Amino acid sequence: MIDEFLIRAAAAGLGLTLATGPLGSFVVWRRMAYFGDATAHAAVLGVALSFAFGLPVYVGTLAVALAMAVTVAGLASRGQAMDTVLGVLAHSALAFGLIAASFVAGLRVDLESFLFGDILSVGWGDVGLIWAGAAVVAGLLAWRWQALLTATVNEELARASGIDPRREQLVLTLALALTVAVAIKIVGALLIAALLIVPAAAARRLSRSPEAMALWAVAIGVASVLGGLAASLNWDTPGGPSIVGAAAAIFGLTLPFRRLR
């Protein structure tokens, strides 16, 4: 008989992969890995503010992640170097988040679970929020799929087709912020970007079309969640890092595929 906490953990992880698969593909295509890191690091500040003001963690995390995304987009549009802006904001947000957490009674004990995830502690309410958030992200990406692809491949072609690349960038920004908010309890702020990037990077070696890559990324994410939970159960390892470790192992197995093709 499988324990209920494992069923909840698996349900939460599988729901999250519906969002991280296609979204991670765009993160890889657009080389937005550092952007994902910056948004995830900002989530720690959102956690601290949520505890300080008695708000649900998902609300504070989403608010700060959105603020980070909008700030980055605004500074980049003013001519600031994107990698510099992301580096400054990512580390500053993480530092201020850890400082704020030190002033919130009781948060220090729970902070590690928000940094590295605690998927085994999710409740059915968390599972429902994760599936709802993932469904919104997946629906948003499906709705804007062709426009997003066109803007990713060639911005000039997108403009000629009547597509505003900045609007599509905003769509990805909103989707990324929402994904970070729902993922923080599963894999933690420091590992969210890895769950976005690693399955998509592995899927890239197995795919011949963008749609196939998104589907492969979801499948690899599912395998990573189940494999990571199995490793956590058998070897008593942390759930979030085990999931990312399983994804990394799958990525290693896909390395020969391009040479074989």
The reply to whether CATH 1.10.10.10 applies to domain 4-260 is no
Report pLDDT digits (tens) over 141-165. Answer: 999 999 999 999 888 888 888 898 8
Tell me the domain boundaries of the chain: 4-260
DSSP 8-state assignment for residue 106: T
Q: Name the stretches of the chain with pLDDT < 50.
A: none
Report pLDDT digits (tens) over 73-109. Answer: 676 666 566 667 777 888 888 888 888 888 877 666 5
C-alpha–C-alpha distance, residues 9 and 205, integer Å: 29
C-alpha–C-alpha distance, residues 74 and 89, integer Å: 12
- Ranges of beta strands (E only) in the chain are none
What does the block give as tokens for 59?
A: 């609300």
Q: Which residues contact 121 (CB under 8 A, 6 or more apart)?
A: 5, 113, 185
pTM: 0.90
